[in-house]
């Protein structure tokens, strides 16, 4: 589906991506996890043809991005990190323009608009101007817009950033639903729970280097299943255990105070990079 080979991107002074290799399978929900400035958005911008890489190749559904960028754009839906809707136009008009840009006929467009607005729960706001919508509504509208032309891959760049927990869960459910309809999803996030909850496979990215690609459970269980946090010099230092009993035994035999919790992706990231995702 998406094949990335030895991708490099260099901005004036920043080596934003270093020899990145990826292979995203069809129908998969692939999460790209990394701290600020890791190169997540840069990767998405290259995959969607918005930015040219310095070297390396990308193919989407068998189309080489270099030679057939117009054809491959038809396959992609993009929800960028910053909101890029036409604020002075209505919800309906924003979707219509997108449909026109992707060469959809009028009947097809209107049918899809109705279906998608239902889908993201915005039917009642069809005629509202975008600037009158809340942040969460705008995010959902961006997702609906990206789905207008029925792309086979959907790129979501931090789709829940700045939203409250309730809205975040709503959007997660929506993303799951989109995947179930057969769309391949490439998602970037720096929310651990988001990757854990949604992803079939997770890639860790740190300052332009791809560290590892695996399923969330594989990544976590290499460390253990339970963790004890203890405070050492004002820093939380986790110790990992394979079972709850082992952890409890450790607590019983040591004097310090601990917090017991399950191992999460943050631990996996921390153990690989020595730093936290957030």
Partner 1 sequence: MIHSLFAVYYREMLIMRRRLTRLVPSWSVSPLLYLIAFGYAMGKHVEIDGHSYMEFLIPGLIAMNSMTQSFAIASEINIARFYWHIFEEIQAAPVSDFSYVAGEVLAGITRAFLSTCVILILGLMFGVTLSCNLLFWLAILLNSFVFASLAVGLAMLVKSHGDQVLLTSFVITPMAFLGGTFFPLENFPEWGQRLVYILPITHAAQAIRSASFGNIPPISSYLVLFFTGCIFFFISVLCVKKAKD
Ligand X SMILES: Nc1ncnc2c1ncn2[C@@H]1O[C@H](COP(=O)(O)OP(=O)(O)OP(=O)(O)O)[C@@H](O)[C@H]1O
| DSSP E strand boundaries for the chain | 2-10, 15-24, 29-33, 55-60, 63-64, 76-79, 153-157, 184-189, 201-206, 209-214, 226-232, 235-241, 259-262
User: Residue 156 burial by CB count (10 A; 0-12/13-18/19+): exposed, middle or buried?
Assistant: buried
Residues 92, 114: Cα–Cα separation, whole Å: 9
Residue 78 binding partner per list ligand X, partner 1, Mg ion, none, with a CB distance cut-off of 5 to 8 Å that depends on partner kind = partner 1
Q: Which of 81, 90, 222, 248 binds Mg ion (CB under 5 A)?
A: 81
User: Considering beta carbons, is residue 13 or 253 the nearer one to ligand X?
Assistant: 13
Residue 118 binding partner per list Mg ion, ligand X, partner 1, none, with a CB distance cut-off of 5 to 8 Å that depends on partner kind = none
Are residues 229 and 259 in contact, defined by beta-carbon separation less than 8 angstroms? yes
Are residues 90 and 130 in contact, defined by beta-carbon separation less than 8 angstroms? yes
Residues at the contact surface with ligand X, assessed by CB under 6 A: 11, 14, 16, 34, 36-42, 81, 190
**SS3 state at 71:** helix
Residue 51 in the binding site for Mg ion (CB under 5 A): no
Residues β-bridged to residue 79: 156
Residue 87 binding partner per list Mg ion, ligand X, partner 1, none, with a CB distance cut-off of 5 to 8 Å that depends on partner kind = partner 1
Q: Which of residues 42-81 bind partner 1 (CB under 8 A)?
A: 48-52, 70-71, 73-74, 76, 78, 80
User: Considering beta carbons, is residue 80 or 216 the nearer one to partner 1?
Assistant: 80
Residues 76, 177: Cα–Cα separation, whole Å: 18
Q: Which of residues 80-109 bind partner 1 (CB under 8 A)?
A: 80, 82-89, 93, 97-98, 100-103
Residue 248 binding partner per list Mg ion, partner 1, ligand X, none, with a CB distance cut-off of 5 to 8 Å that depends on partner kind = none
Q: Which of 20, 29, 33, 41 binds Mg ion (CB under 5 A)?
A: 41
Please report how close the Cβ of residue 188 comes to Mg ion at its closest, in angstroms.
6
Residue 75 in the binding site for Mg ion (CB under 5 A): no
Helices (H), 67-191: 69-75, 91-101, 106-119, 135-147, 165-180
User: Considering beta carbons, is residue 60 or 265 the nearer one to partner 1?
Assistant: 60
Residues near partner 1, by CB under 8 A: 48-52, 70-71, 73-74, 76, 78, 80, 82-89, 93, 97-98, 100-103
């Amino acid at each position: 589906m998406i094949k990335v080979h030895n991708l490099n991107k260099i901005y004036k002074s920043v080596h934003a991506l270093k020899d990145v290799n990826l292979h995203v399978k069809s129908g998969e929900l692939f999460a790209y996890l990394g701290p600020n400035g890791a190169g997540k958005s840069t990767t998405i911008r290259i995959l969607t043809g918005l930015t040219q890489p310095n070297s390396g190749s990308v193919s989407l559904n068998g189309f080489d991005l270099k030679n057939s960028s117009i054809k491959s754009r038809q396959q992609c839906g993009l929800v960028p990190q910053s909101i890029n809707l036409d604020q002075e136009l209505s919800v309906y008009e924003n979707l219509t323009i997108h449909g026109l840009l992707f060469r959809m006929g009028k009947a097809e467009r209107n049918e899809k608009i109705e279906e998608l607005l239902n889908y993201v729960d915005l039917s009642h706001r069809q005629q509202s101007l975008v600037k009158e919508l809340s942040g969460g509504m705008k995010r959902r509208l961006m997702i609906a817009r990206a789905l207008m032309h029925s792309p086979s891959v959907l790129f979501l760049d931090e789709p829940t950033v700045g939203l409250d927990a309730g809205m975040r869960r709503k959007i997660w459910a929506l993303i799951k639903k989109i995947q179930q309809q057969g769309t391949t999803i490439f998602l970037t996030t720096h929310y651990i729970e988001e990757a854990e909850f949604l992803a079939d496979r997770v890639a860790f990215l740190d300052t332009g280097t791809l560290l590892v690609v695996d399923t969330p459970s594989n990544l976590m269980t290499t460390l253990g299943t339970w963790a004890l946090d203890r405070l050492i010099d004002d820093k939380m230092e986790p110790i990992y255990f394979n079972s709850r009993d082992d952890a409890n035994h450790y607590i019983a035999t040591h004097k310090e105070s601990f917090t017991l919790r399950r191992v999460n992706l943050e631990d996996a990231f921390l153990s690989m990079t020595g730093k936290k995702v957030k």
